[in-house]
A and B are shown apart, each in its own frame.
Chain A
Amino acid sequence: MKKQSKIAYAFLAPFLILFVAFYLSPIVYAAYLSLFTKKRIGLRAAQDVFSGVTNYIRGFQDVNFLTSLKNILIFGIFQIPTMLIAALILALLLDQSRGLLMRVCRTIYFIPYTIPIAIGGLVWGCLYARDLSPVNQLLSTLNLARIDFLSPSLILFSIANITFWTWTGYNMITLFAALKNIPDELSEAARVDGAKRWDIVWRIKLPLLMPTFQLLFLFSIIGTSQIFAEAWVLRPIEYVADNITPNVYIYLTAARDTNYSYAAALAILLAAVVFAISSFLLRKLQPH
C-alpha cells in the first residue's frame, strides 16, 4: 500500500501545493495577523505589537461593524425567505408546465446567475439612478414623485433586489432538478389512489424537496454574509454608507485605512458568526 500512497500524493501534489499556498496559508496568516495592533512608541514610526485578542474586543465594540452585521441580518431575514419561496413557487409552476413557455422561462430566469454581479449590479445601478430609472420616468409622466432607490431608507431593499435577481434562478434550477429526480411512479401511484394535481405537489413533492431546500437555505446564509459587489458598484452613483455590509466595511478597513490586522480580525469574527448561525440552523432543521 505504501507505493499506492506515493502515487496518490503525486497526483494530488499540484492541487495540494496551490491549496496550501493560496488558500490555507492566507487563512492561517489572517489568524496570526489578527493578534497584532499598531503602536507608536515615542517618535518612531508605528510598529506591529502583539496584543492578543484586543482586535476582537474592539470589533465587538465597533459601532460600524455591529451596524453592518445588523444590516446584513435584517437583509437576510427578509431576502432569503422571499428568494427561496419565489424559487420554490417558480420551480413548482415550471414543473407543472410544458412546451415553449416553460423552456423560455427556465432559460431567462437562470441567465442572471451567469452574469457577473459586478456587471448585473452596474446595470441595476443605471435602473436605480435618479435621472435614468425607467420607473421614475414613468412616475414623472404621471406627475408622481420620484423614488430614490439609493436613499438610506431604500438602499438595502435595492441591494436585496439585485441579489434576488441574480440568485432566484439558480435556486429555482436546483429545486427544479430535484423535482425531476422524484420518480414518476410516486405521483402515478397517488394519482391512481385519487389524489388531485396539487395534492400530489403538497403531500409528495414538497416533502421530498426539503433536503435540497435546506441546503439552499444554508448556501444563502453564507452567500448573504459575503455580499460585497452588489453594494460596492452602487457607491459611485450615490452615497452608500461604509458600514452597509460587513464585507464592504472590512474591505475599507483594509484597503482604505490600511488597518490590515484589524480587518483580519473582523473577517474572522464574521466567519465565526456565520459558522455559528449556520450550524445552529442545521441542527434545528435536521431532527435526527
Chain B
Amino acid sequence: MATVNDEFTREAAPAKSLRTAVLLVFLLYFATPALWVLFAITKNPSQIFTTFGLWFAQPFHFFENVSELFSYQGGIYARWFGNSIIYAATISAVSTMICAAGAYAFAKYDFWGRKALFSFILGTIMVPNTALVLPLFLLMNKLGLIDTYWGVILPGLVNPFGLYLMRVFWDSGFPTDLLEAARLDGASELRIFWSVGLPLMPTGLVTVALLSFVGAWNNFFLPLIVLNRDSLFPLTLGMNVWNSIIHSGGGKPIYNLIALGSLISVLPLLVAFIFLGRYWQGGITGGATKG
C-alpha cells in the first residue's frame, strides 16, 4: 500500500484536548516559582506579605529593589556575582582543555592501562558527593586552601563526565586517517592535537565547557564547606546567607531582594540556555543514551 490511511492514525478530538490540558497544567506548575519571582521583584517586603503572591501590587517598587539589591550590605551582591563568574569561567575554561587533552589520549593512543584506567575514571562518577567533599575539606585544610578561591576552583577542575563526553566527540569527530596523514607530513603530536584536532571539535568543546560552567555556577555544597568569608561566596551561597538573615532574630524580611537576587543569579544560565540550548541538551542526552 503506497498511501497510509490517516483515519487509523488521527487522534480523536477529546484525546487531543486532554493531551493539551495535561501539557498546560504542567506548564503552569513548572512556571509557578518563576511567576512568583516576577511578581515579587515589583513589590516591597510588606506588599509581598499582604498582596497575592501571583499577581501585581500597586505601587511598583522594581527600581527601588534594584538599587537596594546592589547597595545592601555595602553592595556585596555584585561581589558575589563577580565571584560566581570567576569560579565558573575559570573552571569551565581550564577543565574543558584538561578533559580535551585527556580524552584525546584515550581516543587516539594505544597505551598501557588504557581500558582499565578509563573504566576506573568513569566508575568514580558514581561516588557520592559527601564521600568526596568532606574529606576534601580536611585535605584542603592541610594544604591551606580553606577560604580561598583555589579551594573552590581546584576540585572543580576534575570532571570525569566531561572526559567521557570529550572522548565520545573525539571518537566520532576526528578520523584516525587524518591523524596518520598529519604524522606523515611531519607534524608533531602536540601540533596535531592543537592545530588539526581541536579545530574539528567545536561542538564537543562548547558542550563540555557549557556543562562545566553550569555545574560550577550551580555548585553549593563545595563552597559551603570550603568558604567562610562572605567576600568569597558565589551567588548560591550568598543568597542563602541572606535567607538565613531574614529568619534569624530581628532580621529584615528582605524577600524582595531574595526574589530579585535569585532572578539575576539565573540570568546567565537562561541566556546560555537560549543561545546554546542545543549543545546543552546534546551533552545531557549524549551522555545518557550512549552511556
Cβ-based interface call for B33 (8 A): yes
The listed residue (B9, B130, B243, B265) touching A250 by CB distance below 8 A is: B130
Contact check, B214 vs A114: say whether CB atoms are below 8 A apart: yes
* Per-position 1/0 for B275-291, Cβ under 8 A of A: 00100110011001101
Contacts of A61 in B (CB 8 A): none
Cβ-based interface call for B32 (8 A): yes
Contact check, A118 vs B218: say whether CB atoms are below 8 A apart: yes
User: Which of B11, B33, B104 has the most C-beta atoms of chain A within 10 angstroms of its own C-beta?
Assistant: B33
Nearest Cβ on chain A to B151's Cβ, whole angstroms? 10
Contact check, A109 vs B54: say whether CB atoms are below 8 A apart: no
Contacts of B189 in A (CB 8 A): 7
| CB-nearest residue of chain A to B288 | A174
* Per-position 1/0 for A205-235, Cβ under 8 A of B: 0000000100110010010011011001100
Contact check, B26 vs A222: say whether CB atoms are below 8 A apart: no
Cβ-based interface call for B173 (8 A): no
Cβ-based interface call for B49 (8 A): yes
* Per-position 1/0 for B217-255, Cβ under 8 A of A: 111110011000000000111011001101110000001
Nearest Cβ on chain A to B154's Cβ, whole angstroms? 6
Contact check, B240 vs A11: say whether CB atoms are below 8 A apart: no
Nearest Cβ on chain B to A264's Cβ, whole angstroms? 6
Contact check, B110 vs A90: say whether CB atoms are below 8 A apart: no
Cβ-based interface call for A63 (8 A): no
Alpha-carbon gap, A22 to B4, bound state (A): 59
Q: Contacts A101-B20, A127-B36 given: A134-B154 contact, CB under 8 Å?
A: no
- Main secondary structure on B side of the interface with A: helix
Contact check, B33 vs A118: say whether CB atoms are below 8 A apart: no
Contact check, A108 vs B259: say whether CB atoms are below 8 A apart: no
Contacts of B133 in A (CB 8 A): 26
Contact check, B239 vs A118: say whether CB atoms are below 8 A apart: yes
Nearest Cβ on chain A to B238's Cβ, whole angstroms? 10
Contact check, A96 vs B19: say whether CB atoms are below 8 A apart: yes
Contact check, A111 vs B30: say whether CB atoms are below 8 A apart: yes
Contacts of B284 in A (CB 8 A): 170, 173-174
The listed residue (B24, B53, B225, B243) touching A233 by CB distance below 8 A is: B243
Contact check, A216 vs B129: say whether CB atoms are below 8 A apart: no
Contact check, A123 vs B111: say whether CB atoms are below 8 A apart: no
Cβ-based interface call for B56 (8 A): no
Please choose the segment from B58-66, B69-77, B136-144, B199-207 that sits at the chain A interface, where 4 or more of its residues have CB less than 8 A away.
B136-144
Cβ-based interface call for B22 (8 A): yes
Cβ-based interface call for B168 (8 A): no
Alpha-carbon gap, A270 to B127, bound state (A): 10
How big is chain B's contact interface, by range?
A: 35 or more
Cβ-based interface call for A268 (8 A): yes
Cβ-based interface call for A241 (8 A): no
Contact check, A196 vs B236: say whether CB atoms are below 8 A apart: no
Alpha-carbon gap, A40 to B224, bound state (A): 30
Contacts of B34 in A (CB 8 A): 111
Cβ-based interface call for B31 (8 A): yes
Contact check, B8 vs A116: say whether CB atoms are below 8 A apart: no
Alpha-carbon gap, A119 to B31, bound state (A): 15
Contact check, A18 vs B154: say whether CB atoms are below 8 A apart: yes
Interface size of A by CB at 8 A reads 104
The listed residue (A5, A117, A232) touching B112 by CB distance below 8 A is: A5
Contact check, A19 vs B289: say whether CB atoms are below 8 A apart: no
Contacts of B237 in A (CB 8 A): 118
Contacts of A8 in B (CB 8 A): 105, 109-111, 114
Nearest Cβ on chain B to A220's Cβ, whole angstroms? 12
Q: Contacts A96-B19, A118-B239 given: A23-B158 contact, CB under 8 Å?
A: yes
Nearest Cβ on chain B to A116's Cβ, whole angstroms? 4
Cβ-based interface call for A177 (8 A): yes
Cβ-based interface call for A274 (8 A): yes
Alpha-carbon gap, A22 to B139, bound state (A): 9
Q: Contacts A16-B102, A104-B27, A236-B247 given: A127-B32 contact, CB under 8 Å?
A: yes
Contacts of A66 in B (CB 8 A): none
Cβ-based interface call for B258 (8 A): yes
Contact check, A126 vs B36: say whether CB atoms are below 8 A apart: yes
Within 8 A of A (CB), among B13-62: 19-20, 22-24, 26-27, 29-34, 36-37, 40, 48-49, 52-54
Alpha-carbon gap, A169 to B31, bound state (A): 12
Q: Contacts A96-B19, A127-B32, A134-B53 given: A260-B240 contact, CB under 8 Å?
A: no
Nearest Cβ on chain B to A279's Cβ, whole angstroms? 10
Interface residues, chain B, CB within 8 Å of chain A? 1, 4, 8-11, 19-20, 22-24, 26-27, 29-34, 36-37, 40, 48-49, 52-54, 97-99, 101-102, 104-106, 109-112, 114, 121, 124, 126-139, 154-155, 157-158, 160, 163, 189, 193, 214, 217-221, 224-225, 235-237, 239-240, 243-244, 246-248, 255, 258-259, 262, 265-266, 269-270, 273, 277, 280-281, 284-285, 288-289, 291
**Known A119-B265, A236-B246; further 18 A-B contacts with Cβ < 8 A:** A4-B111, A5-B112, A22-B136, A93-B22, A97-B20, A107-B277, A108-B27, A114-B270, A116-B236, A126-B255, A131-B49, A137-B52, A137-B53, A178-B285, A250-B130, A260-B134, A270-B131, A275-B126
Instruction: Give 7 pairs: A residue, B residue, CB < 8 Å, sorted on A.
Output: A115-B269, A165-B29, A173-B284, A174-B285, A212-B289, A222-B128, A236-B246
Q: Which 3 A-B pairs have the closest CB atoms?
A: A15-B102, A8-B109, A134-B53
